Structure 1
Amino acid sequence: MMSHLNFEIFIVVSFGTQLTKCLLLFINVYLTFSGPGCSSLAYGAMEELGPFRVNSDGKTLTKNRYSWNYAANVLFLESPAGVGFSYSNKSSDYDTSGDSKTTTDNYKFLVNWLERFPEYKKRNFYIAGESYAGHYIPQLAHTILHNNKKANKTIINLKGIMIGNAVINDETDNRGTFDYLASHAIISDQAANDINTICNFSSDVNPIQCQTAIDEYVRDVSFIDLYNIYAPLCSNPNLTALPKKNSIVIDPCSGVYTHAYLNRANVQEALHANVTKLKYDWESCSDIIFSKWGDSPSTIIPLLHEFLNNGLRVWIFSGDIDGVVPVTSTKYSIKKMNLSTKTAWYPWFFNGEVGGYAEVYNGGLTFATVREAGHEVPSYQPGRALSLITHFLNDTPLPTTKRQP
């Protein structure tokens, strides 16, 4: 708690060697058409990389054998205040949300948490996340580097960051999205050309013709799940009387199960959540936070350069069937960084199959795709995602042969 702010956290300690393994902060900001405001507990912990998945009865759990706490002690943070179970005693905080305030609050939380649990202070520290965490994570990492240089500050042993299907640079993110959707026969080539020609993604001001072109795009994509362009939709959003175990591949109705589970009084009590006994349901995303979001810089590329210059490990990954922040957007953004190639494009393997493709750049940046994964990579390809985070944390290259190292 930071005076009037109360953040919900969920830590999952590592199996076996938790006393020596690193600390990984996971920030999941599920992107709602280019806006933040969603929960790391709901998506990151319960539907992606946490130790359990919720069954179809909304009451019971199934163990996730690809949980990331096989690789690290994982800390999930619901941020900013107003998202999930995190809240503020000052309603005005919800009107002033933005990148800068979120970064400041996240840093204060992290320092306070490390002081409260000093056994983690000297561990190697990493930050990972996806979607709009492409802003949150670099901004938090920049603040850590800046404050580590000051006297009498808590030193955070930051070693690297990993961001997936991440918002990086508005112009290339947007252009890459429409190019991707056209190349996958979801929107017409004409629609993509009109949007990329008429709309100025480097400006907040656009002609009315831009909105007309965007409206056509919205009509085209409204009947599919853009977060995984080949995934089925949730056709029966009801709980079942008997639990149907979650398979390792995400159930399209998982959000329904998670919502029911996290609204159970006994679950909230076990999580020490909702201590103020709110009269309305817990929700995975906050429309209030999204609608009132303030500052959001158009690019975080300068921060990525800063990290490489300071010797931080930077990995960027991309599920290749995400239509929200697709692989083309990420490739365009990395190209804009003008980095020279160290290891040319190659397939990497998991369990004898191609897990994706990777390219390594001079300076310390690795880009990796994850084959057949949507926006939330660990949901759709949990085994490949665990392999990815393990190699990132161990600072080892992704395997280039079918035999695992």
Structure 2
Amino acid sequence: MLGQRRKLILIAVMNLQQLFVMCLFLITLITTVSSLTQEQENDRITALPGQPAVEFSQFSGYVTVHKKHGRGLFYWLTEAVNPQDKPLVLWLNGGPGCSSIAYGASEEIGPFRIHKNASSLYLNKYSWNLEANILFLESPAGVGFSYTNTSTELRNSGDKRTARDALKFLKEWMTRFPQYKNRDFYISGESYAGHYVPQLAKKIHNYNKNHPGSFINLKGFIVGNAVTDNQYDNIGTVDYWWSHSIISDTAYKSIKSSCNFKSTKYTEKCDNAIDYAWNNEFGEIDQYSIYTPSCNKSSVNVTSTRLKNSLMRRRVSGYDPCIEKNAEKYFNRPEVQQAMHANNTGIAYKWTACSDELLENWKDSQFSMLPTYKKLIAAGYRIWVFSGDTDSVVPVTATRMSLSHLDLTVKTPWYPWYSKGQVAGWTEVYEGLTFATVRGAGHEVPLFQPKRAFLLFQRFLAGKNLPKS
């Protein structure tokens, strides 16, 4: 009888403890909600059409970065479940001219994937917002829902304005979301964001030195299959084509002897050598993922402009080679735009994954990012560069050749890293930079190898080397 009474008392105590924990949770939730400003509430996404139930908050909307010219950048914040305990990570896609919502958010690291019917969403179990608050930015103006009221700006955009506008966006956005002002902050991205990410990091670094009172707590950045240096990237790219049997010995020798990759302009002989290989030897492959099926003939529309000026355009890739079409259907739906507070200015063109107008009219492109890397390494930022090894557009050989010219001291020599008992790639740790390959991944690493990319991201945030076993 006495034992039964003790059991009843124990159950009662446990119930009280559970009630106490629940009350604390409700108090925290109420405090968090009540602390949101009206501007934040205006940007809150209640739910996207066809969205499964989630426990995290979402916000999206516009931040004006140039009032006179009418430039507004569109963002989408997918918070972590406990946002106050997690860092803030900005994600940028490249192109130049491609949407971070079409690719980063919808195919790679975001919490949702779009069903083929483009009417509903399903969860990505390797979403990066499990580890951080992820801020997707459509940049520069003219990409996706981001806009400019000065139409000529679509034909004279470039690296410098993009970096200036991104810094302006961050300052204004953190004024709207002051809870993130002093949060640990990282920048991430891929492809031509190999320019955007370090350029923005440098802008923030210089801004912090000159404005200590409005400090942005930048800790570092991580970029994948990143455009780094025109000369070394291009040499490494041609080497990849040859070493992976995409082009012949004859074409390889012709390109190497005809092209001066130190130059910003190539001769007609060089152009002809590249065009011959492209048109006669490549075949109908997905150049962003050479071992997976391509979408169809009409979708593979990459030209030798990529090699000539290192301006890349991602067309199709992934296990579903036509996956970007899902995004173009979904984000053009009026009810989706309404839920996301998007296109409220009535953009005169259809939402697309990439802007041809921006790509074809890019006005400035930094020839090499290596001097920027050197400055940021000297400043002590955490820098990781990763590379999917089945991408022929910004291949692993290009990235390795570019980074080798930083002449960094090796801390941890080259070794295989593991996930689920399998080699997930290879890595080498230098003084000031970590490089890693991701085995079996194309240009969009988190699309092809989501678990490996997620582990890579976890280790980056933790500042830990990739696992050796």
Q: Same fold (TM over 0.5)?
A: yes
**The structure with more radius of gyration:** 2
| Aligned pair partner of 2:86 in 1, 12, 21 | 21
User: Does structure 1 conserve the Cα–Cα contact (< 8 Å) formed by 2:93 and 2:189?
Assistant: yes
1:375 pairs with 2:443? yes
1:5 pairs with 2:65? no
How far the C-alpha of 1:153 sits from its partner, in A, is 5.4
User: Structure 1: how far apart are the matches of 2:358 and 2:116?
Assistant: 29
1:394 pairs with 2:459? no
Q: What pairs with 1:4-403 in structure 2 (closer than 5 Å)?
A: 4-15=70-81, 17-29=82-94, 31=95, 36-151=96-211, 154-219=214-279, 220-235=281-296, 250-362=319-431, 364-401=432-469
Which amino acid is 1:271 matched to?
M
Query: Which stretch shows the higher mean deviation, 87-96 or 318-327?
Result: 87-96
Structure 1 gap segments, 5+ residues each? 238-248
User: Structure 1: how far apart are the matches of 2:100 and 2:324?
Assistant: 13
How far the C-alpha of 1:235 sits from its partner, in A, is 5.0
How far the C-alpha of 1:234 sits from its partner, in A, is 2.2
User: Structure 2: how far apart are the matches of 1:92 and 1:152?
Assistant: 36
Q: TM-score normalised to the size of structure 1? A: 0.92
Cα deviation code 1:137-189 (max 9, x no counterpart): 11100010001011465211010111110000001101111100111111112
User: Structure 2: how far apart are the matches of 1:222 and 1:147?
Assistant: 47
Q: Which runs of 4+ in 1 moved over 3 A?
A: none
Query: Which stretch shows the higher mean deviation, 195-204 or 275-284?
Result: 275-284
How far the C-alpha of 1:257 sits from its partner, in A, is 1.1
User: Does structure 2 conserve the Cα–Cα contact (< 8 Å) formed by 1:134 and 1:164?
Assistant: yes
User: Does structure 1 conserve the Cα–Cα contact (< 8 Å) formed by 2:284 and 2:297?
Assistant: no
How far the C-alpha of 1:192 sits from its partner, in A, is 1.9
User: Does structure 2 conserve the Cα–Cα contact (< 8 Å) formed by 1:20 and 1:123?
Assistant: no
User: Structure 2: how far apart are the matches of 1:152 and 1:62?
Assistant: 43
Which amino acid is 1:337 matched to?
L
More contact order relative to length (CA 8 Å, sep ≥ 6): 1
Which amino acid is 1:63 matched to?
L
Give the match's secondary structure for 2:85: coil
Query: Which stretch shows the higher mean deviation, 203-212 or 100-109?
Result: 203-212
Which amino acid is 2:246 matched to?
I
User: Structure 2: how far apart are the matches of 1:342 and 1:326?
Assistant: 24
**How many residue pairs were aligned?**
383
How far the C-alpha of 1:329 sits from its partner, in A, is 0.2
Query: Which stretch shows the higher mean deviation, 279-288 or 289-298?
Result: 279-288
User: Does structure 2 conserve the Cα–Cα contact (< 8 Å) formed by 1:47 and 1:250?
Assistant: no
Which amino acid is 2:287 matched to?
L
Q: TM-score normalised to the size of structure 2? A: 0.80
Give the match's secondary structure for 2:429: strand
User: Structure 1: how far apart are the matches of 2:172 and 2:211?
Assistant: 17
Q: Which has the higher helix share?
A: 2
User: Does structure 1 conserve the Cα–Cα contact (< 8 Å) formed by 2:424 and 2:438?
Assistant: yes
Give the match's secondary structure for 1:294: coil
Which amino acid is 1:367 matched to?
F
How far the C-alpha of 1:62 sits from its partner, in A, is 1.3
User: Does structure 2 conserve the Cα–Cα contact (< 8 Å) formed by 1:10 and 1:77?
Assistant: yes
The percentage of aligned residue pairs carrying the same residue is 49
